Amino acid sequence: MSTLRTTVRRISSQERGFTLMELVIAMALGTVVSLAGLGFLEFATSDVSRINERVHVDQTARVALERIMLRLHTACLVTSVAPIRTGSNENEMKFISAAGGEAALSKLQLHEIVFTKPSGSKKGTLVENIYEPTKSSELYEFGKSREYTFSAKPVSTVKLLTGVKNSERSGETLPLFRYYRYYRSTDPLPTGYTATPYQLLYPTPLASSSLEKAEEAESVVKVEVHFTAVPEGVEPATFEHDRAIPLEDSAVFRNATASETTPNGPCQPAN
Amino acid sequence: MSLRARVRREDGVTLLVALGVTFVTGVLLVAVFASSRGELHLTATDTAAKKAYYAAEAGIQDYEFHITQDGNYLSYCTEPTPANPALNQYYKENTKEALKTSELKTVEVSPAAENGETLPKTEEFYALRLLPAESDKEKYPKCNRTNLVESMVEEKGPTTGSFRVMSTGFSDGETRTLVATFHNVNFVSFVWYSVYETGDPSLYGEAPSGQPATYWSECEKFYNLRPKRCEVFNNYFITGESVNGPMHTQDHVGICGKPIFGRSSTDNIEFGNGGSSVGEGYSGETGCKESEVTPEFKGTHITPAKVSAITPPPGDEELQHIVEPAYDYQGMTEIVLEGNTMTVKKDYAYNASTEKLEPTVVTKNVGYPPSGVIYVAGNCLPYSPFGPTPGYYEKGTESCGDVYVRGKYYTSLTIAAQNDVIIDGNITTETNSEGIPSGNALLGLVANNFVRVAHPVEKLYKKPSGGCKNEGYVSFRGTTYKIQDPESATHPGYCEYTNEAYKVKPSGSVTEWEAIDACDTTNETGSTHPLEPVEDLKEPVIYAAVLALKHSFIVDNFDCGSPSLGNIKLYGAIAGLFTNGMTGVFSGKTAVHGYGYNLIYDNRLQIEEPPHFLNPIQAAWQIQRQTLLTEP
């Protein structure tokens, strides 16, 4: 007890301690460190949020793209009917598709994927319209020449993605949908060939305007889909606007190896 | 201050710096973790799904490869040789409960070797399931080797003749399932297959003097490209004729009147229009107004734009590599089918007393070949379908790769000849009371050149204006005959000739006779025919798939003889490079020479074919549809 009292008395009698200057400097340093810490904290929080939004848009965009690609992968239904329909263009793709394992599929549909470009504050969108045939009795007959007619209005409309814009590559804006066909006898020969390489894809995409013609639309054997998904909210200037995610994929409409000697079309069996 | 003293001091900002760095690093780590965890998961799932899709594709291609190599691959169900461990039935044994994905046998995807280097396997797997036909009425459906057609092939509805294979791809917990629908497209897919709908150029014989040697061979072109002179043997379908099954020709079709094409909408009637994609692929022939061209399509008419070329292989020699040595015969051979065995006559030699070729080796009770293929080899000079006695057992033809066939078969067999197949009797199999085959046996008759129906009428030639020659030669359609008797005693007004046909044009004077239009029908009963054993066939019946690779199916002397022999009943399929219609000469729907046609498609050929029956250059079974099992 006497020891404790002695110690307290000794400390209280001492005059050593922080000077005012030391205290001010310490407080200033502490404030600077705290502000820096808060700044880092705020940065980290916003970055996590930024990344979460990116992950979210990545996820939704991939799902949308996968949905489109799977539909395209199940588009070779009848060898006599081409998947890509007249009226498709770089912002709108119309194709037939159906899934299922039945011998005679019962649910042929016309899918219309429509890209609306962003305009001002309005974000770009990808929307899928689904149409069903007006007649169902004559579907899916192999080798048969059938002209399908579809309902004038879509039976359902699904918004696949909001915040879509055209992708860019080397400063060039890529169309959302690009269409390719095989070489034709009227095409200039590629380097190293002395005869038309019917089995090769013609390297230049088909012009959108040409797809108004049924003959051209029915020649499409490959489709490329390119788009960039932009997250919701204001795009911060940091990290070079890296939140936008460019995605691309392609589908080839082919049931057999393309013939080297005769012209080829989509979904052809062996020629 | 010494170094030791400085080290001992504890003042400074080290802690603050360390804390700051740690904090910043922590923030960055959190950011990176948040980013990578989300994106890695997304990317991994996306990649696995894509790998699973392509693994399923690999499964489909696996099956397509095997069925391209062997057109009967389906008939092995899940037990082919060599074994394919990816093959599964769809249902559990004796149930209608589908196998779960965890219960499937799978194989790992093997990348194709490059430059002889075997690449490592991947970590993707696929399983194949054979989907039973929806039309199968069995209690527990499955691919059944003893009941293949009913168990696997759709027999009604728009997908008639197809079967389905389901392929599931596995990758890192993800699965994708594809269903491919295969449809049979080969020569036996059609009751009538031809490239050119015109008569074989060899019908015309030698080129006229002063004309190039290619004068007639130029008829081997499509309708719009053929010279006008080739119209003589253009085939055309007329009122009263019917094509009882699917049909494919790559040429334009001549029609006059109202022939019937197909039996029902499931029969495709494919008119190719000679490679041009325009038009309907048919029109009236000379002398037939367009208003009289009114075909009835009971089948589905496929317009030229939708018709794919089906190209025949260049020859049947590949079958010689398949056949066992004991069944690889050389020179003229006769085969009499006797159920599950046969009698084989071979090694023919000339018998001076009979003036005919006769076999020196006759073997009875010969078993059918294990490979299912018999091959008769031997090159020969070109055959002419016209002539007084077109080459039956004739001296000089003993080395020809000709095979004479008749009889009854209970086991599947393909008989191939390097030259001609000659049908000299009925060819039948087990049938029900309606004449429909009741067994599984299929017969294939494959000839490099002609598949012929023996029709050994004799011909007489009208006396030319200059009178019959005492000596000399007459040339008709490429064959030169020696004149021996200038005036026929039995047929006044006609010249006679010997039976001796010169395959090579002899030296000396050659006279082109003026009118050649008569046939001696007195020998058509066969009883007095001088050319035994070949006799005229009364209402011949042929159960077979016929393929004439470089020429056509034809009746010898089809433009000769009274039409008293009835119709040829061919139950199966018939395919030739040129039209298969040269069986007789018709006036309206009445035969005036040769035979009428009664051609009926054997539906079994939609999915099965005779052993090693030749296929078009491209795959016989083709994928007609490929879809995902579930809606994306």
Over residues A42-58, the pLDDT tens digits come to 877 777 777 777 888 88
Does position B35 have pLDDT exceeding 70, yes or no?
no
Q: What is the largest CA-CA distance in chain B?
A: 150
Label residue A2 by pLDDT band (50, 70, 90). low
Nearest Cα residue in chain B from A71: B632
CB contact under 8 A, A104 and B49: no
Q: Which residues of A touch B166 (CB under 8 A)?
A: 101
Q: What is the mean pLDDT of residues B289-311?
A: 83
Q: Which residues of A touch B51 (CB under 8 A)?
A: none
Label residue B381 by pLDDT band (50, 70, 90). low
User: Which of A66, A71, A76 faces B625 most closely, judged by CB atoms?
Assistant: A76
A116 CA to chain B: closest CA distance, Å?
A: 23
* pLDDT at res. B20: 75
Cα torsion through B232, B234, B236, B242, rounded to 10: 120
B274 CA to chain A: closest CA distance, Å?
A: 13
B216 close to B271: Cβ distance less than 8 angstroms: no
Of the two residues A255 and B618, the one the predictor is more confident about is A255
* pLDDT at res. B603: 84
B614 CA to chain A: closest CA distance, Å?
A: 16
Of the two residues B132 and B20, the one the predictor is more confident about is B132
Does position B357 have pLDDT exceeding 80, yes or no?
yes
With a CB cutoff of 8 Å and minimum separation 6, the contacts of B301 are B261, B269, B271, B280
Q: Which residues of B touch A99 (CB under 8 A)?
A: 627-632
Does position B10 have pLDDT exceeding 90, yes or no?
no
Does position A137 have pLDDT exceeding 50, yes or no?
no
Label residue B335 by pLDDT band (50, 70, 90). very high
**DSSP of B242-306, one letter per residue?**
EEBS-EEESS-EEEEB--EE-SSTTSEEEE-GGG--SS-SEEE-TT--GGGB--EESSEEEPGGG
Label residue A171 by pLDDT band (50, 70, 90). confident
User: Which of A55, A66, A271 faces B309 most closely, judged by CB atoms?
Assistant: A271
| Cα gap B128→B401, rounded to integer Å | 44
User: Which of B157, B185, B618 faces A103 most closely, judged by CB atoms?
Assistant: B157
Task: Decide the pairing of beta strands B596-601 and B567-576.
Answer: parallel
> Which pair of structure tokens corresponds to residue B376?
């008769």
First-last CA distance in chain A:
108
Mutate: best of A51, A68, A253, A268, partner B, most B CBs <10 A: A51
B537 CA to chain A: closest CA distance, Å?
A: 39
Look at A253-267, B19-33, B191-205, B375-389 and tell me which has the smallest mean pLDDT.
B375-389
Q: What angle (nearest 5°) sits at the alpha carbon of residue B449, between those of residues B444 and B451? A: 45
Task: Decide the pairing of beta strands B192-194 and B174-184.
Answer: unpaired
Q: Which residues of A touch B627 (CB under 8 A)?
A: 74, 76-77, 98-101, 105
- What 8-state DSSP symbol labels residue B120? P
**DSSP of chain A, one letter per residue?**
-HHHHHHHHHHHH------HHHHHHHHHHHHHHHHHHHHHHHHHHHHHHHHHHHHHHHHHHHHHHHHHHHHHHT-B--TTS-SBPTT-BTTEEEEEE----SSS-S--EEEEEEEE--BTTBPPEEEEEEE-BS--TTTT-TT------B-SS-SEEEEEEESEE--EETTEEPPSEEEE-B--TTSPPPTT-SS--TTSBPSSPPPGGGGGSHHHHTT--EEEEEEEE--SS---SGGGGTT-EEEEEEEE--SSPPPSSS---TT----
Average pLDDT, chain B: 80
Question: pLDDT by residue (tens digit) across A73-98?
Answer: 999 887 767 899 999 999 999 999 98
Could you give phi then psi for residue B167, rounded to 5 degrees?
-125, 125
Question: pLDDT by residue (tens digit) across B219-256?
Answer: 898 988 888 888 878 888 888 888 999 999 999 998 88
Q: What is the ipTM, given to two decimal places?
A: 0.81
Q: Which residues pair with B596 in a beta bridge?
A: B567
CB contact under 8 A, A40 and B27: yes
SS3 B126: strand
Residue the block writes with tokens 């050929």 = B605
Does position B509 have pLDDT exceeding 60, yes or no?
no
Q: What angle (nearest 5°) sits at the alpha carbon of residue A31, between those of residues A29 and A37? A: 105
* pLDDT at res. B267: 82
Question: pLDDT by residue (tens digit) across B40-97?
Answer: 777 888 889 999 999 999 999 999 989 877 877 888 999 998 899 999 999 999 999 9
**DSSP of B512-554, one letter per residue?**
--S---EEE-TTTTSTT-TTTT--PPSS-EEEEEEEESSS-EE
Nearest Cα residue in chain B from A62: B46
CB contact under 8 A, A73 and B134: no
Look at A99-113, B22-36, B282-296, B530-544 and tell me which has the smallest mean pLDDT.
B530-544
Mutate: best of A22, A32, A40, A55, partner B, most B CBs <10 A: A55
Q: Which residues of A touch B618 (CB under 8 A)?
A: 256, 259, 270-271
**b vs e for B218-254, b when ≥16 Cβ sit within 10 Å of the residue's Cβ?**
ebbbbbeebeeebeebbbbbbbebbbbbbbbbbbbbb
Residue the block writes with tokens 């009263």 = B240
Q: HSE (CB half, 13 Å, CA atoms) of B8?
A: 5
Label residue B341 by pLDDT band (50, 70, 90). very high
CB pairs under 8 A between A and B: 158
| Cα gap B13→A21, rounded to integer Å | 18
> Which pair of structure tokens corresponds to residue B516?
């050649």
SS3 B44: helix
Mutate: best of B167, B624, B629, B630, partner A, most A CBs <10 A: B624
CB contact under 8 A, A100 and B629: yes
User: Which of B42, B49, B622 faces A270 most closely, judged by CB atoms?
Assistant: B622
Does position B464 have pLDDT exceeding 90, yes or no?
no
Look at B41-45, B61-65, B127-131, B206-210 and tell me which has the smallest mean pLDDT.
B206-210
| Cα gap B226→B197, rounded to integer Å | 11
User: Which of A59, A104, A271 faces B159 most closely, judged by CB atoms?
Assistant: A104
* pLDDT at res. B13: 66
| Cα gap B299→B246, rounded to integer Å | 7
Does position A240 have pLDDT exceeding 70, yes or no?
no
- What 8-state DSSP symbol labels residue B325? G
Does position A71 have pLDDT exceeding 80, yes or no?
yes
Look at A194-198, A264-268, B15-19, B213-217 and tell me which has the smallest mean pLDDT.
B15-19
CB contact under 8 A, A66 and B630: no
| Cα gap A244→A165, rounded to integer Å | 9
Q: Is the dihedral of CA B292, B298, B303, B309 positive or negative?
A: negative
Detail the DSSP E strand segments found in B549-606. 553-555, 567-576, 584-587, 590-594, 596-601
Q: What is the mean pLDDT of residues B163-181?
A: 94
Phi-psi bin for B155: left (phi > 0), alpha (psi -120 to 50), beta? alpha
Q: What is the mean pLDDT of residues A98-115?
A: 86
B306 CA to chain A: closest CA distance, Å?
A: 6
How big is chain B, counted in residues? 632
Does position B302 have pLDDT exceeding 70, yes or no?
yes
Q: Which residues of B touch A48 (CB under 8 A)?
A: 30-31, 34
| Cα gap B531→A100, rounded to integer Å | 63
Does position A68 have pLDDT exceeding 80, yes or no?
yes
Name, of B8-12, B38-42, B227-231, B378-382, the range with top average pLDDT: B227-231
Look at A183-197, B255-269, B553-567 and tell me which has the smallest mean pLDDT.
B553-567
A139 CA to chain B: closest CA distance, Å?
A: 8
Q: What is the mean pLDDT of residues B436-446?
A: 91
Residue the block writes with tokens 């498609």 = B601
* pLDDT at res. B458: 53
Mutate: best of B13, B35, B280, B606, partner A, most A CBs <10 A: B35
Q: Which residues of B touch A77 (CB under 8 A)?
A: 625, 627
CB contact under 8 A, A62 and B631: no
* pLDDT at res. B386: 54
CB contact under 8 A, A259 and B300: no
> Which pair of structure tokens corresponds to residue B43?
């990317």
Q: Which residues of A touch B159 (CB under 8 A)?
A: 103-104, 140-142
Q: What is the mean pLDDT of residues B346-367?
A: 88
B418 CA to chain A: closest CA distance, Å?
A: 27
Nearest Cα residue in chain A from B275: A262
Burial status of residue B410 (CB atoms within 10 A of its CB: 0-12, 13-18, 19 or more): middle
CB contact under 8 A, B35 and A142: no
Phi-psi bin for B344: left (phi > 0), alpha (psi -120 to 50), beta? beta
CB contact under 8 A, B183 and A256: no
Could you give phi then psi for residue B14, rounded to 5 degrees?
-55, -45
Question: pLDDT by residue (tens digit) across B385-424?
Answer: 654 445 577 777 888 899 999 999 999 999 999 999 999 8
Mutate: best of B14, B17, B22, B46, partner A, most A CBs <10 A: B46
CB contact under 8 A, A271 and B268: no
| Cα gap A21→A25, rounded to integer Å | 6
CB contact under 8 A, A143 and B268: yes
Which helix (H) or strand (E) is B58 found in, with range? helix B14-69
Does position B515 have pLDDT exceeding 80, yes or no?
no
CB contact under 8 A, B627 and A270: no
SS3 B114: strand
Mutate: best of B16, B627, B629, B630, partner A, most A CBs <10 A: B627
* pLDDT at res. B34: 66
CB contact under 8 A, B627 and A262: no
Could you give phi then psi for residue B134, rounded to 5 degrees?
-70, -20
Could you give phi then psi for residue A107, rounded to 5 degrees?
-140, 55
How many percent of chain B have pLDDT more than 90? 34
How big is chain A, counted in residues? 271
| Cα gap B630→B607, rounded to integer Å | 28
Q: Which residues of A touch B69 (CB under 8 A)?
A: none
Does position B434 have pLDDT exceeding 80, yes or no?
yes
Q: Which residues of A touch B154 (CB under 8 A)?
A: 103
Could you give phi then psi for residue B333, rounded to 5 degrees?
-140, 145
User: Which of A58, A66, A144 faces B39 most closely, judged by CB atoms?
Assistant: A58
> Which pair of structure tokens corresponds to residue B486?
């200038």
Label residue B548 by pLDDT band (50, 70, 90). very high
* pLDDT at res. B339: 94
* pLDDT at res. A138: 47
SS3 B399: coil
Q: What is the largest CA-CA distance in chain A?
A: 113
User: Which of A102, A255, A270 faces B626 most closely, judged by CB atoms?
Assistant: A255
Label residue B326 by pLDDT band (50, 70, 90). very high
CB contact under 8 A, A141 and B300: yes
